[in-house]
Amino acid sequence: MLEEYRRFAMEGWAQGMRYAMQTPRGSRIGVAGGLLGKAAGSSIEFMDYREYQPGDDLRTIDWSAFGRTDKLMVRMYRQEVCPHLDLVIDCSASMALESTDKARATMALAGMLASGALNAGYTCSLHRLAETLSPAVGGGGSPLQWDGLDLDYAGDSGESFMRMAASFRPRGMRILISDLLWWTSPSSVLGRLAHQSSAAVVVTVQAREDIDGPEDGEWQLADSETGEIQLMVVDSASRVAYRQAAAAHRQGWHDCCRANGAVMVEFEAEAFCRDWNARPLLETEVLRFC
């Protein structure tokens, strides 16, 4: 992992010390664990109830609770009650777009979210999304312990997510940090991200250049991931078409997040790095002030 990236992550970690993570407003997937289980004596000790969800072990249903409430309730144990964050970082090369603040914003947001999780008593696992989805080193601690998070994968991270090898903690919170510049359908990715989670959040990081496209003129455009070169003439009409397509792509992800009970927040890299304003995360209640 580049020391520059570690420094960026530590910037976000320091900013995140004033925040604590919580279940985001708008998430309707499940119920996140609280701190109730922190003092439990063993992982098999009963701690709480929650409503039955398809796929739950039928042996955990409490039939006496069903008789009292007319609702199917399952017994929760310490592992389900203690909150956990699975933080996924898109490590494709487009996340480090040259002459932009995307790499800095990406790593700083990862540090901020990990710091907020620690402040709220969450355990945390860090995942690298590159040729596949795999655990990264040191996710349980500060960015000084992180490794394997270089933003250099030359491929479609969306397809890689569908080949995921990492296992997420059941009933945990999942957060994906990405620019979402994929061909893979949002519904496929979100279905996996949200499955058996307490909450799923998509944090988009895009540079101003991603949002607006190039200015008018003749350009030699290089794909940041494949290296493919294309010559292109950009005029006002093509620039408008690009912006409309980019906005439609983001809106498609927003719509799919809502349909899957997930939450999506957007950050412009340059604006975030100017003042570390976490408003989108605060407004959706992913974070709160300590």
Residue 165, judged by CB atoms within 10 A of its CB (0-12, 13-18, 19+), counts as exposed
φ/ψ of 205, rounded to 5, equals: -125, 115
Numbered ranges of CATH 3.40.50 in the chain: 3-29+83-208+250-289
Query: What is the pLDDT, as a whole number, of residue 58?
Result: 83
pLDDT digit string, tens, across residues 194-239 = 998 999 999 999 999 999 988 888 888 777 667 788 888 889 999 9
Residue 105 has pLDDT above 50, yes or no: yes
Asked if 213 contacts 249 with a C-beta cutoff of 8 angstroms, the reply is no
pTM of the shown model: 0.83
Could you tell me the fold of the domain covering 3-29+83-208+250-289? Rossmann fold (3.40.50)
